[in-house]
Amino acid sequence: MYLSREQVRALDRRAIEEFGVPGIVLMENAGRGAAEVLISLGCKGPVLICCGKGNNGGDGFVIARHLDNRQIPVRVLLFADPGRLEGDAAINYQIIARSGLEISVYDGEFVNDARVRSELAKAEWIVDALFGTGLTGPVRKPFDQIIQCANESGRRILAVDIPSGMDCDTGQPLGPTVRAEHTVTFVAEKKGFANPLARNWTGQVHVVNIGAPRRLLE
């Protein structure tokens, strides 16, 4: 099974509105599942999680909490104003902030600098939680620089749901795109993953069940 961008949106909406599954439960299951895949790959840390302001970043916050619960060293780089986070992502950010996890905030800063590169260089794994399946155009500054820094870091990279910069439906890069060693995708592979060239960016794909009702998928 492959899901298009519109099918992903419809599935999330229907799971919440028609089946009554809270969005924060879906996010929790997604983040926990991604953390478990990372651990299964032998991750010992440190792990650096690069988060955007949307639900993909929210998944990253959940991943950070579960890694911390397993005593795996983890640090979050948030490329957004924490005060502008919304919904489930905002809730999960507050949890990790109150839990004392290490968080560096870059809001509107030029990020292609020694500080970011130094943080990336210290990681065993980089987790890409910048953009999800909703991206329809090339990433803008400073995210193009973040992606470049990650790709040039020489660290192992795991992408959350889809590598940031990739088109969900075509599997083609929309511009600068994360080159992941592994991608943890939710519910089913995305339509663009059927493109053989997509593996250049996704690496090995792992599908995680986030608790969406089977009846809905059918």
Q: Is the pLDDT of residue 109 over 60?
A: no
Please give the single-letter amino acid code of residue 214: R
Please report the pLDDT score of residue 110 as a whole number.
54
What is the C-alpha to C-alpha distance for residues 84 and 23, in angstroms, rounded to an integer? 19
The pTM score is: 0.96
Please report the pLDDT score of residue 58 as a whole number.
98
Q: How confident is the model at residue 106 (pLDDT cuts 50, 70, 90)?
A: confident
Which long-range contacts link 27-30 to residues 24+ away (Cβ below 8 Å)? Answer: 27/55, 27/58, 27/59, 27/62, 27/88, 27/89, 27/92, 28/62, 29/208, 29/209, 29/210, 29/211, 30/59, 30/62, 30/160, 30/161, 30/186, 30/208, 30/210
pLDDT tens profile 40-98: 999 999 999 999 999 999 999 999 999 999 999 999 999 999 999 999 999 999 999 99
Q: How confident is the model at residue 141 (pLDDT cuts 50, 70, 90)?
A: confident
* Domain 2-213 part of CATH 3.40.50.10260: yes
Between residues 10 and 106, the one the model is more confident about: 10
Ordered by start, the domain boundaries in the chain are 2-213
Q: How confident is the model at residue 108 (pLDDT cuts 50, 70, 90)?
A: low
Whether residue 143 contacts residue 174, with contact meaning beta carbons closer than 8 Å, is answered with: no
Q: How confident is the model at residue 117 (pLDDT cuts 50, 70, 90)?
A: confident
Cβ within 8 Å of residue 193, ≥6 positions away: 2, 171, 185, 202, 205
